[in-house]
Structure formats: C-alpha cells, structure tokens
Amino acid sequence: MGSLEIVVYGSPKALKRHRIFRVGGSLRAYDPSRGDKSDFIMQIIKCRPPEPLNGKLALSFKFYMPIPKCFPKRLRREGLDVPHVKKPDLDNLIKFCLDAMNNLIYRDDSQIYRIEAVKLYSEKPRTVIEIRGE
C-alpha cells in the first residue's frame, strides 16, 4: 500500500468526553462528539478505500486552526506557519480523528505504529491526514 491523503475542511474538532447521567435507577451514557463525528465522516467517506486498510500504518496530521481576528495583520497577510498553542489540545484533536476513522479507513486503531501531528494557524481551517501503510 502506498499513501492516502484525506482533507477535511472546516475548523478541526477535539474529542469531547463521554457523559454519563442517571435516569431513574439506571445510568445512561452519550457521546457529545457524535454530531461532529458524523460531519467528519461525511467528508472522508468519499476518500475511503473499498475495504478498510490492514497492516501497519503511519499517520501524519496537520490541523490548520482559524486565525483569530486579533491576530496581527502582517501575519495574516503573509500566511506564515505560526504554531497554534491554545485549546483545543493536540491529543484530543488526534483522538477525534482516530475514533471517526476507525472501521472506515482502517480496521482498528491498534494498527497505527507512528503518529506525527502539528497545529498551525491558517486562513483556511482544515485537517490534512496522510496515511502511509506497509
């Protein structure tokens, strides 16, 4: 297998913690990221392979975050690769993507042996995922 590149447009989303609440005498759980995941899946479904990938996988993530209005105009115009060092956390962005791609792009996220990731500001918020397999 070679490599597969997936681009998901829009502001990258972080995985939210599952919530548990009590209804009568029983506990119920729900996933607050469910809506965001379905939007993400709708964009990646056109890029998916006919069968989920097998074997060892290396993933590379580039999260392009929206530039805040208060950002200096010089940096906005130049489009420099300025690191994003605020919330959401990089690990939660990665977890969100891994959860959404599980059983769709690859069989299980245990196949992943390497992850590289970076968060940057950009005029065009998006997530770029490169999957390399052996």
What pLDDT was estimated at residue 103?
87
pLDDT, averaged per 10 consecutive residues of the chain (134 residues), comes to 86 82 82 79 85 91 88 65 85 92 89 94 91 86
What pLDDT was estimated at residue 56?
93
Considering the entire predicted model, what is its pTM?
Answer: 0.84
Q: Which domains are present in the chain?
A: 3-133 (3.30.1330.70)
What pLDDT was estimated at residue 31?
75
Residues in the chain: 134
